[in-house]
Structure 1
Amino acid sequence: MVMHVRAEERGDERGALLSFVEEQRSGIRRALLGLTDEQARSRPSASQLSLGGLLKHVAETEQGWIARARQEPPAVRRTEANWHESFELLADETVASQLAYWEKVAAETEAYIRSVPSLDDTFPLPNDPWFPPDERVSMRWLMLHLIRETARHAGHADIVRESLDGRTAFELVALERDTPQG
């Protein structure tokens, strides 16, 4: 899925923020082009990261932050006991299923951000030890955080993909361009 923000919408702040997060999502999706689920599960670099795990993590993370902004619990509750599962495709999960899930999450993100009265509107951060107590953040902060989080993992995805088969981001852009969409 590629969000197509119309040119006149990219000029406004919401459109610009949504365009930037989509650009970073595209980098992660591109890193998965032409791979099997087995390849996407592999960990070819020095880290424990896999492309499938990165995909799952960014989709869960985005969904979780939008849920928090709505003051709802995330769809998947992560604790210290199951945190590692957010970075790996489990036996019943596939790249295709995670891409479809992320497409749904991305559409929900766009609809939600376009529906809030103001990017200055706030919501409380969770009561987790790594957040300041009783802190609130704005919808603008939320979008900047999603851009930062997705961009960080898009960079990881570039390294993992290059470690896997030597393909660089430039080669993957050409592959994406030449791959029929459908």
Structure 2
Amino acid sequence: MTAVADAEITALLRCLQVQRDHVLGTVEGLGEEALRRPVLPSGWSCLGMVQHLTLSVERLWFRAVVAGDPEVIDLVGSQDSAWQVASAVPAADVLDGYRYEASLADAVIAASSADADLVWWPFPESEEWRLHSLRDVLLHVITETACHAGHLDAVRELIDGRRWLVNT
């Protein structure tokens, strides 16, 4: 990568890390019951949202789409249940899994060029919407993570009144 691309990717990664920290900070201090309780009519829980971000965002976009990891690609079809966390899975495991998957994503990012073609595309039937490079993926993941952090903010406020910008 050139110095400009390095600086660009470093800046994008810094933005992504702020959003990751926002996700984890928003759910910090919630107990198991609150983390698992669906608050909105759609039925997802805070823990389900973190698991979705782990499997369907960090893992999918970086290890499958950018890096083409065949083991991860094979798991893509099983991610439909990413929003549902089994009762036997401790909340700490889901949160640690998010941190771990983010670290694996960071390794993919560090090993990739900003303009390199993506190795795999999960939506062949939807060619009108397609990302083309690590840069595109980073921008997409930053946007998706920020959007879901906002969802978590609203749910957290409904659970116990805590607001990210006020109570942190």
Give the TM-score range, shorter chain.
Answer: 0.7 to 0.9
Q: 1:148: Cα distance to partner?
A: 0.9
Aligned to 1:40: 35
Deviating beyond 4 angstroms after TM superposition, the runs of 4 or more aligned structure 1 residues are: none
Aligned to 1:72: 69
| Separation of aligned partners in 2, 1:91 and 1:50 | 12
Q: 1:13: Cα distance to partner?
A: 1.0
TM-score of the two chains, using structure 1 as the length reference: 0.78
| Separation of aligned partners in 2, 1:127 and 1:145 | 15
2:63/2:105 contact within 8 Å kept: no
| Separation of aligned partners in 2, 1:171 and 1:89 | 29
The range that moved more, 160-169 or 85-94, is 85-94
How far does the alpha carbon of each residue in 1:75-110 deviate from its partner, in whole angstroms, 9 at most, with x for none? Answer: 73335xx62x21122122222101211111111111
- Structure 1 residue identity aligned to 2:68: Q
Q: 1:128: Cα distance to partner?
A: 4.1
Aligned residue pairs: how many?
158
| Separation of aligned partners in 2, 1:47 and 1:93 | 21
Aligned to 2:88: 92
Aligned to 1:154: 149
1:20/1:147 contact within 8 Å kept: yes
Aligned to 2:20: 25
| Separation of aligned partners in 2, 1:120 and 1:37 | 42
Q: Which runs of 5+ in 1 are unaligned?
A: 1-10, 174-182
Aligned to 1:57: 52
SS of 2:60's equivalent in the other structure is helix
| Separation of aligned partners in 1, 2:48 and 2:67 | 26
- Structure 1 residue identity aligned to 2:101: V
TM-score of the two chains, using structure 2 as the length reference: 0.83
2:131/2:137 contact within 8 Å kept: no
How far does the alpha carbon of each residue in 1:25-63 deviate from its partner, in whole angstroms, 9 at most, with x for none? Answer: 111111211111211011223442211011000011211
2:39/2:159 contact within 8 Å kept: yes
| Separation of aligned partners in 2, 1:136 and 1:25 | 21
RMSD: 2.2
1:45/1:163 contact within 8 Å kept: no
Question: Which has more helix, going by share of residues?
Answer: 2
Q: Which runs of 5+ in 2 are unaligned?
A: 1-5
How far does the alpha carbon of each residue in 1:92-143 deviate from its partner, in whole angstroms, 9 at most, with x for none? Answer: 2222101211111111111211111x200011422443x218x561010011
In structure 2, the CA distance between the partners of 1:42 and 1:136, relative to structure 1 (3 Å rule), is closer
